Amino acid sequence: MATRVKRAFKYRFCPTDAQAAELSRTFGCVRKVYNLALAARTEAWARQERVTYNQTSAMLTVWKKTEELAFLSEVSSVPLQQALRHLQGAFANFFAKRAKYPRFKSKRKSRASAEYTSSAFTFRGGRLKLAKMAGPLDIVWSRPLPEGSVPTTVTVSRDAAGRWFVSMLCDDPTVKPLAATDAAVGIDVGLDHLLTLSTGEKIANPRHERRDRARLARAQRTCARKEKGSANREKARRKSARIHARITDRRRDGLHKLTTRLVRENQTLVIEDLTVRNMVKNHRLARAISDAAWSEFRSMLEYKAQWYGRDVVVVDRFFPSSKLCSHCGTLQGKMPLHVRTWTCDCQTVHDRDVNAAKNLLAAGLAVTVCGAGVRPQRRTPGGQSATKQKTPRREP
């Protein structure tokens, strides 16, 4: 039986001048309302008072009636209300200790977007028309929506490169759980190779950012030479942003293909719980780690596994997968990062990454049986904790 999941379908579109002006105005109003509500809630927080979504919604009504903020009435009210709901969600995550305190949206750095619910758009015959607009959006339908699906929410955005996107959230009845299989795989991430599987397969790291590094550097130098605030500087900035966008698109496309293949081929996928946020504090490796996009890989793997009835097992980050012999179980002492192959006391020669993937697989299967995390308390002969040295070698 098909599993109905919420799925977003993203398309590019080409707005008219009038539509672009209306959407840009809406983006600005959304940002303004979000910042005003955040300031009000922050002031109340300092007074040890709590402001709810309903109270900020009432504030919005008052703001629209003032002379200074009367322009808020010129755009659709739905994206403004959605901005308040997003702020409420940000505070809920903060109180639940899932995120930091919400931050103010910057005109230059924040994503320009607006969310419309079903009351603020019409979708008929493949034509999408938003509130306050005279005509439908000129969407490039790169793929069809699932048959019979109607968008429940629509998010319009503009990236730093000036490209316009519309994302439609729909119920997708076409996602079906895959046939069960006995295959299981351990996955070790790295920089020399993006992934190393317990089967011995190594997947090359495409290094998307490094391929365009020289071109990006030239574009950024050109932008830096332009006068601030000039039209030429804006054109140079757009050129630099387009290079960044191309890198991001290639990276995301490669990760989608890779994660889909792994989920289709394996019933159980075992990965390691890495703290990428802390690892990128190593400034020699931050660029390479960010380019590898380990967090995005894990996110894709987890939601696709949920879609298709697969299991993702996450092993504790302190499990010493690199230093543990997958043949006899002997725990080695110190193992510098430049050591890529090593020989155990049992005379087994190990490839560091393949051995780590095999140990992750064994630990993950043990987790599925025991239902507990893997975090050994053993100590090395030198008295140090037997933690895995996960920070990779310096990128050449």
Asked if 240 contacts 220 with a C-beta cutoff of 8 angstroms, the reply is: yes
- Candidate list 22, 115, 209, 272, residue with the active-site label: 272
Q: Is 345 a catalytic residue?
A: no
- As a whole number of Å, the end-to-end CA separation of the chain is 50
Are the beta carbons of 344 and 354 closer than 8 angstroms?
Answer: no
Query: Among the options 22, 188, 209, 291, which is catalytic?
Result: 188
Angle (nearest 5°) at CA 283 between 108 and 272:
100
In contact, 328 and 344? CB cutoff 8 Å: yes
- What residues does 342 pair with on adjacent strands? 350
The DSSP code for 116 is: E
17 catalytic residue (yes or no): no
34: closest CA among 71, 78, 85? 85
How many angstroms separate the CA atoms of 187 and 361, rounded? 8
Give, for 225, the enclosing helix (H) or strand (E). Answer: helix 213-225
Read off the DSSP letter of residue 314. E
Active site residue 182: no
Give φ, ψ of 172 to 5 degrees. Answer: -105, 105
In the chain, what's the furthest Cα-to-Cα distance?
A: 81
Q: Which two structure tokens, joined as six digits, stand for 72?
A: 């808020």
Distance of CA 109 to the CA centre of its chain: 17
Beta carbons of 78 and 120 less than 8 angstroms apart: yes
- List active site positions: 188, 272, 353
